[in-house]
Amino acid sequence: MAVDEIVSSAHALEPQIIAWRRDFHAHPELGFQEFRTAKVVAQALSEMGLEVVTGIAKTGVMAIIGEGSPVVAIRGDMDALPILEANQVEYASQTPGKMHACGHDSHTAMLLGVARILTSMPNRPAGQIRLLFQPCEETVDEEHKSGAQRMVEEGAMVGVDRVIALHVASDVPAGKIVANGGPLTAAVDDFNARIIGRGCHGAHPNDGIDPIFLAAQVLNALQGVRSRRLNPIHPAVLTVGTIHGGTARNVIPDDVTISGTLRSYDPGIREQLRVEVERALGVARALGGDFEVEFILGCPSVINDNHVAATIQSAVRDIAGADALLAQEPSMGGEDYSYMTNSAPGAMFMLGAKLDEISRPHHNPLFDIDESVFKTGAAVLAETACRLLTQLA
Ligand SMILES: [Zn+2]
Ligand SMILES: [Zn+2]
């Protein structure tokens, strides 16, 4: 059976996958600066006899295994974060202030493992497996574009029938896998607003329009958006993260600035959130002031395709046993993989990789993961890709 081949091949590759991950971990690079990482990836893929496309989405790498159709894409992200690593391990970051604190080093390493498994497989199903090594998942460039967005714009998903990916989870027990259909991560939009009044002496508020008072009313109105304006069935978050105004105790300032983030799953709710934020800011106008607002649209929500998620689950059951599957609620965090799942039906699974009893959250200086799960992650990706090809044939 092909699944046994894939599992034993993944086991044999375990030391290599760990070595790749430690190399990437020791040499972290921020979004769209993954020059060394891309070079190592391209080199490894070339050594497997694959034709490699580099420079897609600036620092992305793409390779194709097999030919024709159907086409299944597998995505791995390569970027690190601007964090000073606190772990004292032999593979710790050699660049102070940069760290693979989200596990993307392991995603890249496992995807290279998948490439090795699939290229050395004698009876691979017919069709194409496209490996997408994506830059810059964590942030955006000066044009507000992230790595997946640029990969899609530059044609990486053209002709792709299905797409899969994984993300390690440092808080999920090692070896457990979450592969639900439906929402996985939220759409992420931000806003910057200015509440405009008219400054005057604090002793004579009637001479001006107090923007601090206006802001207080606006905050109330914003808090009412979730509870009074949105369909309670659909999850959404509206958080005001900053508020700034004023310079002295006895001076009423000209304006107050606020900024916040909007999270949602449903595209309709996503749009409505922006309308409601504007409406809430309109309270400032009703009270004699004014406002300006700009929205910064981020990535959409990752909605796992039910059928692709079920295929991942079936692969997990055969590779790691039914006990490995864990149900977990979706997150209001963001993941730019959504640009790919918006281009073709796809899913992402979470690979539990909790290392020890120390709390090691993602984006934390103590982040680290259990490397013994990599072989399972690589095997599930490879097996799922093969199953999808067979289903689509
Ligand atoms: Zn992250
Ligand atoms: Zn991540």
- pLDDT tens digit sequence for 341-359: 999 999 999 999 999 999 9
> What confidence tens digit (pLDDT) does each residue in 47-87 have?
999 999 999 999 999 999 999 999 999 999 999 999 999 99
Centroid of ligand 2 to alpha carbon of 138 (angstroms) = 7
Nearest listed ligand to the Cα of residue 335: 2
* Cβ(44)–Cβ(20) below 8 Å: yes
Q: Write out the residues surrounding ion ligand 2, Cβ under 5 A.
A: 102
Residues 236 and 314 in one domain: no
Mean pLDDT calculated for residue range 374-384? 98
Does pLDDT of 32 surpass 90? yes
CATH number for the domain that contains residue 251: 3.30.70.360
* Cβ(193)–Cβ(256) below 8 Å: no
Centroid of ligand 1 to alpha carbon of 245 (angstroms) = 32
Q: How does DSSP classify residue 124? A: P
Domain extent at residue 161:
2-183+302-392
Does pLDDT of 2 surpass 90? no
Residues 359 and 266 in one domain: no
Nearest listed ligand to the Cα of residue 139: 1
Residues 39 and 104 in one domain: yes
Is 30 exposed, middle or buried (CB count within 10 Å of its CB: 0-12, 13-18, 19+)? middle
Residues 323 and 283 in one domain: no
Centroid of ligand 2 to alpha carbon of 18 (angstroms) = 18
Nearest listed ligand to the Cα of residue 138: 1
Residues 138 and 227 in one domain: no
pTM reported for the whole predicted model: 0.93
Is 49 exposed, middle or buried (CB count within 10 Å of its CB: 0-12, 13-18, 19+)? exposed
Nearest listed ligand to the Cα of residue 77: 2
Which of 297, 312, 346 is at the close of a domain?
A: 297
Mean pLDDT calculated for residue range 100-116? 98
> What confidence tens digit (pLDDT) does each residue in 170-204 have?
999 999 999 999 999 999 999 999 999 999 999 99
Q: Give the chain's mean pLDDT.
A: 97
> What confidence tens digit (pLDDT) does each residue in 242-266 have?
999 999 999 999 999 999 999 999 9
Which of 297, 325, 353 is at the close of a domain?
A: 297
Residues 290 and 319 in one domain: no
Element (H, E) at 25: helix 2-26
Residues 325 and 353 in one domain: yes
Residues 245 and 382 in one domain: no
pLDDT band of 1, cuts 50, 70, 90: low
Split into its structural domains, the chain has a count of: 2
> What confidence tens digit (pLDDT) does each residue in 33-43 have?
999 999 999 99
Which of 297, 316, 332 is at the close of a domain?
A: 297
Mean pLDDT calculated for residue range 273-301? 98
Residues 125 and 257 in one domain: no
Residues 145 and 122 in one domain: yes
First to last CA, the chain: 18
Centroid of ligand 2 to alpha carbon of 283 (angstroms) = 38
Mean pLDDT calculated for residue range 370-381? 98
Does pLDDT of 5 surpass 80? yes
Residues 347 and 205 in one domain: no
Does pLDDT of 167 surpass 90? yes
Residues in the chain: 393
Centroid of ligand 1 to alpha carbon of 203 (angstroms) = 49
Residues 94 and 121 in one domain: yes
CATH number for the domain that contains residue 24: 3.40.630.10
